[in-house]
Structure 1
Amino acid sequence: MNNEMHSFTKESGPRNIPVDACSPFDVFSCLFPQEFVSNITEQTNLYALQKFGDPQKFKKTNEEEMKAFLGINIFMGIKRLPSIKDYWSSNEEIRDNYISSIMPRNRFMWMLGNIHLNDNYKQPKKGEPGYDKLYKLRPLLDKLQYTYNFYYDADEHQSVDESMIKFKGRSSLRQYMPQKPIKRGYKIWVRANKSGYIAEFQIYTGKVDSAEKHLGTRVVKDLTKNIAGEYHKVYFDNYFTSMNLMNDLKNSKIHGCGIVRKDRKGLPKDLKRDKEMNRGDADWRITKTGIVSMKTMDKRGIYFLSNFHDPEKANSVQRKMKDGTIIEVSCPDLVRDYNENMGHVDKADMLKSLYEIDRKSKRWWLRIFWHFIDVTIVNAFVLFRKRCDCQSLELKEFRVAVARGLIGMHRCEKRRRRNDDYDLSHKKFKRQVPNETRQTESKHMPMYGTSVRCGFCSTNRTSSHKMALYSV
């Protein structure tokens, strides 16, 4: 029995990217535009003014310094040290000469402590109209959601899944999911394509008054409303899948497929039991509206729903038995397509985690801010490789190019102001000599200690008495 099938004909991939955007930094700037850097700079200066009161008590930042600050954080995701302060360490074996030449440590820490995205004084309080739990991040979320969709047409195959941002601090948004690799943090619903490009996202802010019914259905419909009517193929797991969702997607001209829990409402009750099936067997039913309910037998029975697959089509695949032998078993096209396309969000998470900005903070929203900086870099990486057909470029090289582009103008400006061509990596730091070297070289270096009164010169009786003992 054949299910009705419509072909996906829309063009997909990068779009609207300027012709002269030919470098990694240019493509990143499309998704994270200069106007938003200006907004962060303005809000950071405003927050500092509200915090210190007097503009004479702090030095205002500017757009070039803000971009250099972001670039330094991107570099820190590649060049990891145990502590932030280690990048400016006086110990030359630990210090990073490049990062320490861009910005003084105290200035970097000031930027880290005062960066802001939205005006606190305009934030509606709880219970007032317009109250938003994500108010501090709203400008960033709105801007990125727009640019992600504007510069990339969604591919035919999409997957919807949840992603987690690690956070163990105090926040009403924090979720606890003991079965996930990241057990505590912020939950984000994500729609991504095969290359790992994140097209849509939605941060879960928790229940408002009572537990929301049909949350999974609502999430999938929200994340796919921009691709309705184009017959994209969307895959999701059993948290989202239901008979009502499949019908709603079919009416919206979206192909949907997913694993479903066997106790979901609307599933047929007359499918074969596990003991009546062998590995590779499949049993299915189809509704009048074209929704396929299928049970396949692998190590156990697995249930699927689809609104576009033909349940009769199948291919053979290889499976490994307990004794190590490999056998050929039948696999329906529905199952094969699901296995091939369900992991797109996991791929996006993997790319983001390779060189992520793992910046801890007590301020709840900063974790989300750095997360989306990493996501933007990964999206720009996918855009650049598809647009320039440069599959050999690695993510690390791309991140270095983006960070270098952010830092470039600020570093050149520092050189111009100093009117000197020497390498800034030779900036002088207070020298520290290990004890091993101190005590073996012919010229002993002084040992730095605490600032105390000299025992020989002091008139204090206790100090003089101690030095007398030492001299015995």
Structure 2
Amino acid sequence: MEGYNFGEVHIFDQTSDTELTPVKIFNAATGFEKLVEEIIVRESIRYAHHNGRSFTLTDEEAKAFFGMNFVMGYHCLPTFRSYWSTDPDMGVPYIANVMPINRFEEIRTNLHFSDNSNEPNRTDPSYDRAFKIRPVIDHFNHAFQRAMANTKTQAIDEHMIKFKGHNIMRQYVKNKPIKWGFKMWCRACSSTGYLFQFDLYTGKKRGGSETGLGDYLLVKNMNRGDIFAASSNGISFIKWMDNKAVFLLTNFLSPIPTTIVKKRVSGSAEKVNVICPEAIIKYNKHMGGVDLMDQKKVYYEVDRKAKIKYYLRLFFDLLDIAMNNSYVIYCKLHEAKRIEGTLLTSLEFRQVVARSLIGSFSSRQRSLSSVVMTKKRISYTQKRGTPSQVMVKVSNRKRCVQWAKSRIENRTNNTCSTCNVHLCFTTDRNCFVEYH
């Protein structure tokens, strides 16, 4: 196609002098701010109120929530609650200071993307099994194709999203690493894994057989290496028999040129020569776009093994893909010298975006200190424990400073008369001795 700029970034004007930061690229490449403001915040509040729950959510808090999820993708802990743990080897104050765990779980519980009152009846011809996630699918499809021009070589393949719950859309694909889950058809760039277009497979359509008797007999009577081809209006159809039938449609390759390839005989190490169309060879060279997308997605996945609504599993999967798409665009802009400085790695890019989304937002009334509480300074003689040091009971209860070192809150009304600090002094816990 003469005059077509394959893979050109469309979202920023060439003459723009705006500094292209990672978060600006992420927002422009994914339409994330629009998604949050016009879909997520509005529909989440509507969903909570519809279920009789008092719930509010601002745009800034929603962005901070997703920023936290991105951090959790590259800073992995066993559970969500681990990030708010007071154990020194577990908690992450950077996360805990943004919002309390109860608020985080409340937002996650009420996340929604569509108005349930508009969902058609199951008997309606317009009924969509993916109704609850459809606005997000439509949004990202538009954003991904708007952000960058089509590349010259692309691949269409299946992408599996792990899900073992009960849902009519769940599929079993035995030859995939993820065997149980949702299946998405994806069109991605062969060299970068950039996702241009996708759709969720919602199940087999009702109707007759997908193949007729003629197709069945044609496959049955074909031997390995046999080729069937037909052309019409510049489109060529190729059917090549390997161990199974391989189908190919092409608008720029002829089915006529063939070559000899080595193929292994089933059940042995022996290899034989098999005739193969050159179109199949070229397809194999560029078929890995969706696999590359899958590979990049799993490095810092936002989603984790947890009980979750099916449409949230789909959403967080798409959120990871959106981040990877943004990084592809960032790399292209850096290559075109429109971004100065050293090229960020995928992890560094994700970190900058996550921190920018969180910003200075905090819904906590007080922040959690990242420094362990230390005891007050005492003299050397006091530290050795002099006769003047005695435990005194007082009226007010405060945290034991010895337990505070381990971020465990034990309150006591026993104090050291000399050091003026609260310490446990019971038959089970003698912090007075340990402290001094």
Q: Normalized against structure 2, the TM-score is what?
A: 0.71
- SS of the residue corresponding to residue 160 of structure 1 reads strand
Question: Residues 313-332 of structure 1: CA distance to partner in whole angstroms, max 9, x if unpaired?
Answer: 578999999xx9x9x99986
Displacement of 1:348 in angstroms is: 0.7
Whichever residue aligns with residue 341 of structure 1, its letter is H
Matches within 5 A, 1:24-423: 24-30=22-28, 31-39=30-38, 40-53=40-53, 55=54, 58=55, 60-128=56-124, 130-194=126-190, 195-210=192-207, 213=210, 287=230, 289=232, 291=236, 293=238, 305=248, 307=250, 308-310=252-254, 333-359=278-304, 360-389=306-335, 392-411=343-362
Alpha-carbon distance in structure 1 between the residues aligned to 2:37 and 2:197: 24
User: TM-score scaled to structure 1, two decimals?
Assistant: 0.66
Matching residue's letter, 2:113: L
Q: Is the 8 A contact 1:118 1:136 kept in 2?
A: yes
Q: Residue type of the partner of 1:41? A: V
Partner residue of 1:234? none
Whole-Å separation in 2 of the counterparts to 1:162 and 1:145: 16
What's the offset of the Cα at 1:179?
2.1
- Residue 163 of structure 2 contacts residue 170 of structure 2 at CA under 8 Å; is this kept in 1? yes
Q: Which runs of 5+ in 1 are unaligned?
A: 1-6, 215-241, 243-262, 275-281, 436-442, 449-472
- Looking at structure 2, the residues matched to 356 and 29 of structure 1 have their Cα atoms a distance apart, in angstroms, of 19
d(CA) in 1 for partners of 2:110, 2:177: 32
Q: How many residues align?
A: 370
Question: Equivalents in 1 of 2:327, 2:407: separation in Å?
Answer: 44
Extract unaligned runs of 5+ from structure 2.
374-398, 409-420, 427-436
Q: Report the secondary structure of 1:102's partner residue.
A: coil
Partner of 1:22: 20
Structure 1 stretch displaced more, 192-201 or 111-120: 111-120
Distance 1:393 1:125, change over 3 A: same
Please show how residues 452-463 of structure 1 align to structure 2 within 5 Å: none
State how far apart, in whole Å, the 2-side matches of 1:329 and 1:207 are.
34
What's the secondary structure of 2:102's corresponding residue? Answer: helix
Residues in 2 aligned to 1:424 and 1:122: alpha-carbon distance in whole angstroms = 47
Q: What is the alpha-carbon distance in structure 1 between the residues aligned to residue 209 and residue 275 of structure 2?
A: 40
- Kindly indicate whether the alpha-carbon contact (under 8 Å) linking 1:313 and 1:332 is maintained by their aligned counterparts in 2: yes
Q: Distance in 2 between matches of 1:447 and 1:312?
A: 91
- 1:259-283, CA deviations, whole angstroms, 9 ceiling, x for partnerless residues? xxxx7676797x8x55xxxxxxx77
Cα gap change, 1:288 to 1:22, in 2 (>3 Å):
closer
Alpha-carbon separation, structure 2, partners of 1:288 and 1:207 = 29
- More helix per residue: 1 or 2? 1
Sequence identity, in percent?
Answer: 31
Query: Do the aligned residues in 2 keep the contact of 1:101 with 1:425 (CA within 8 Å)?
Result: no
Flag the 1:373–1:87 CA change in 2: closer, same or farther, 3 A.
same
Per-residue deviation, 1:51: 2.7
**Contact map agreement 1:8 1:156 (CA 8 A) in 2:** no
| Contact 2:372–2:406 (8 Å) recurs in 1 | no
Aligned CA RMSD, in angstroms, stands at 4.3
Shift of 1:100: 1.3
Deviation at 1:291, TM superposition (A): 3.5
